Amino acid sequence: TPTVRNYELDRALITPSAKIGVGQFGDVYVGTYTLPKLGKGKNLAGNGKNSNSDQRNADSRPDVIQVAIKTCKANDDPEKTENFLAEAYIMQKFDHPHIIRLIGICSVMPIWIVMELAKLGELRAYLKTNSERLSHGTLLKYCYQLSTALSYLESKKFVHRDIAARNVLVSSPTCVKLADFGLSRWVSDQSYYHSTPTVALPIKWMSPESINFRRFTTASDVWMFGVCIWEILMLGVKPFQGVKNSDVILKLENGERLPLPPNCPPRLYSLMSQCWAYEPLKRPNFKRIKETLHEILIEDSINSSE
């Protein structure tokens, strides 16, 4: 069993304020975390690599950072709290500029997961509110940033299983981060994970093999990322609106795919279409997707400056 002992935080240093969201397990709050003074114990936020430590000098007051605090309603149900904390166990393994960072946990009741705050909140809402202002290049940049995070997860043999715009948060107008590792699982090279049938599955984002056989692999993450790119270019429109979940697989097996979003560079739609290859092995991996998105981003910046 993984340990999060190093991540245990002193609750006295955490101050929740306003509620900013509702998760599967409980409410999410914005708040502050006062970093313990250096020298006394370890810096728990960001393993010392965090830029927050750069601003500190030994004699000054302790730094205070803004955080998101996830709470768990079912504090007395060990099975639920274990599932709740599973996300923290997973997040502690990652260190990437486009993945929301775990700051730590309070593992005694009331159980809290403390994370880096994405100040601008959910990507879908942000896309809708700022649809007029968002340039094409910015949307491409978001896709590229997410592909770097997913390429990182691919290299770590992690399958996210729930890649969708609803699981992306906005840190600044030019920076998005992948969040929500509630469904993700580590998988060994050849194997794959069979989901438990009790969880509600995001059918409209899922690959045919995930829908048909509950097969989740990096290749099925690639499919989902194609859908996530589509949502971003559509400024937060969800896929297959008005289609019943049970009809999605029929469409996919008929060769139907999500349509070309307005103003989508042909090269990008071609990449999305490759992510939606019926055969998992025919899909590109995230490393390739990242490289292609980088090229598309550069092409776009050249074209738009002409």
Instruction: Dihedral sign for Cα 40, 41, 45, 51, please.
Output: positive
The one among 9, 35, 45, 68 contacting ligand ATP by CB under 6 A: 68
Contact 197, 203 (CB under 8 A): no
The one among 44, 85, 100, 150 contacting ligand ATP by CB under 6 A: 100
Taking CB under 6 A as the criterion, which residues in 196-235 touch ligand ATP?
none
Q: Which of 245, 239, 251 shows the shortest CA–CA distance to 278?
A: 251
Other beta carbons within 10 angstroms of residue 124's beta carbon come to 20
Q: Does the protein bind ligand ATP through residue 28 (CB under 6 A)?
A: yes
Taking CB under 6 A as the criterion, which residues in 115-174 touch ligand ATP?
115-118, 121-122, 169
Active site residue 189: no
CA distance 276 to 151: 17
Enter the tokens of residue 201.
């599955």
Please, what is the minimum distance in Å from the beta carbon of residue 203 to ligand ATP? 15
Neighbouring residues of 42: CB distance < 8 A, sequence distance ≥ 6:
6, 48
Determine which helix (DSSP H) or strand (DSSP E) holds 175, and give its type and residue range: strand 175-178
CA distance 127 to 57: 38
The one among 4, 13, 15, 20 contacting ligand ATP by CB under 6 A: 20
Q: Does the protein bind ligand ATP through residue 23 (CB under 6 A)?
A: yes
Q: Does the protein bind ligand ATP through residue 264 (CB under 6 A)?
A: no
Taking CB under 6 A as the criterion, which residues in 163-202 touch ligand ATP?
169, 179-180, 182
Helices (H), 133-217: 136-155, 208-213
Q: Which of 121/137 has CB closer to ligand ATP?
A: 121
Q: Does the protein bind ligand ATP through residue 103 (CB under 6 A)?
A: no
Residue type, 250: L
Please, what is the minimum distance in Å from the beta carbon of residue 57 to ligand ATP? 28
SS3 (DSSP) at 128: helix
The conformational region for residue 299 under phi > 0 = left, psi -120 to 50 = alpha, else beta, is alpha
Contact 103, 133 (CB under 8 A): no
Q: Which of 101/215 has CB closer to ligand ATP?
A: 101
Q: Which of 68/268 has CB closer to ligand ATP?
A: 68
SS3 (DSSP) at 189: coil
The one among 4, 13, 24, 195 contacting ligand ATP by CB under 6 A: 24
Q: By CB under 6 A, how many residues form the interface with ligand ATP?
A: 19
Q: Which of 164/211 has CB closer to ligand ATP?
A: 164
**Per annotation, catalytic residue among 162, 180, 221, 300:** 162
Q: Which of 121/284 has CB closer to ligand ATP?
A: 121
Instruction: Dihedral sign for Cα 238, 246, 186, 67, please.
Output: positive
Stretch touching ligand ATP by CB under 6 A, among 5-13, 14-22, 103-111, 297-305: 14-22
The residues that touch ligand ATP, with contacts defined as CB under 6 A, are 20-25, 28, 68, 100, 115-118, 121-122, 169, 179-180, 182
Which residues are designated catalytic? 162
